[in-house]
Amino acid sequence: MSLTNVSNLIGYTSQVSNTSQKSEVKKPDSKYGRTIGNPQLSEKAQKYYEELKKKYGDMDFILTSSDMAKSAMDSTASYASDKDTVVVVDEATIEKMANNQDFRKKYEGILVNAKSQLSDLKDNLIKNTKDGTGTLKNLGIQINSDGTTSFFAVMERTNEKISSNNKEKKETDKTTAKKADSKSKTNEADKKSYTETTTVKASTVESLMEAINELQQRWMTDSAKTPEEKIVGQTIDFRG
C-alpha cells in the first residue's frame, strides 16, 4: 500500500536538515501560552480557553491565528512537548466553542476520544518499534473552525550520507583495480549525519496508524542499505 493511497490520508511531508530546525511556535510568553501567528481572542473566549487548558491539563494546546491555521502543520517538528497529545486549535474555533454550547460539547468530546485513541496508538508504536524505524516525536490533533479535525504524527530518524567528494573518489576508484580496497577504507570524515523529520496527517487515527506503519517499513528497508546504495537515485536537500 502506498502512503498516497492510504484511506483518509491528508498529508505526508518530509524535511531533511543537518542543523537544528527553527521553531515557528512561540514560547509560552504570550497571554495565550504557545501560539502560531498572532491570534486574538475576545474576553469571553480567552476565559474559556484558559478553562479548557486546565480541564485538559495533560494536553499541550497551541493556539493559531486563523490566517495561519492551514499552514500550522508546517511547524509540527517544533511542537516538542512533554505531554502525550498536542492540540492545535485556531482562534475562530475557540470563539465558537466559547459562544455555542453544542459546538463546545461536540469538540470537547472529540478531545476526550482523541486522547484515548492517540494513547493507544502511542503504546502500539512503542511495542512494535524496531531498529531503523525511527522515533516518535509528537502525536496530536488539529481542530478546525470548519468543523473538521485531523490527526498527525511527527516521526524522526537520523541517518548518514557520503559527501559528494567521497562519491567522486569512489567513481575514480572504479577505473582502477583498487575498488575492493577503497570500500574498506571509507573516510569517516566524508560521512555526514542528517535528521529526517516526517509528518503524517490523516483524518482518522486508524489511517494515521497505517501510514506510520508503512513509513516505518520503508525506513527499516532503507536502513539496511549500504551508504553507497543510499546515494544511488537520491537527491537530499539539506536546509540550514
Q: Which of 30-44, 121-135, 216-230 is the least confident region?
A: 216-230
Domain range enclosing 222: 3-231
C-alpha cell of residue 193:
549525519
Does 239 fall in a domain? no
More confident residue, 101 or 156: 101
Percent of the chain at pLDDT exceeding 70:
62
Does 71 fall in a domain? yes
Does 215 fall in a domain? yes
Query: Mean pLDDT over residues 98-107, rounded?
Result: 94
C-alpha span between 233 and 128 (Å, rounded): 30
C-alpha span between 173 and 200 (Å, rounded): 41
| Tens of pLDDT, residues 153-185 | 888 887 665 444 444 444 545 554 455 555 555
Cα angle vertex 225, ends 221, 226, to 5°? 165
Domain count, the chain: 1
The answer, as to whether pTM is greater than 0.75, is no
Cα angle vertex 36, ends 35, 41, to 5°? 60
Does 238 fall in a domain? no
| pLDDT bucket at 20, cuts 50 / 70 / 90 | very low
C-alpha cell of residue 24:
515557528
Does 11 fall in a domain? yes
In which region does residue 120 sit, left (phi positive, over 0), alpha (psi from -120 to 50) or beta (all else)?
alpha
C-alpha span between 58 and 77 (Å, rounded): 20
C-alpha span between 9 and 150 (Å, rounded): 9
Does 237 fall in a domain? no
Instruction: Write the DSSP assignment of 101-141 as a string of letters.
Output: HHHHHHHHHHHHHHHHHHHHHHHHHHHH--TTS-EEEEEEE
| Tens of pLDDT, residues 48-74 | 999 999 999 999 999 999 999 888 877
Give the containing element (helix H, strand E) for 61. Answer: strand 59-64
Q: Which of 28-37, 98-107, 189-198 is the least confident region?
A: 189-198
Does 240 fall in a domain? no
C-alpha span between 107 and 91 (Å, rounded): 14
Does 217 fall in a domain? yes
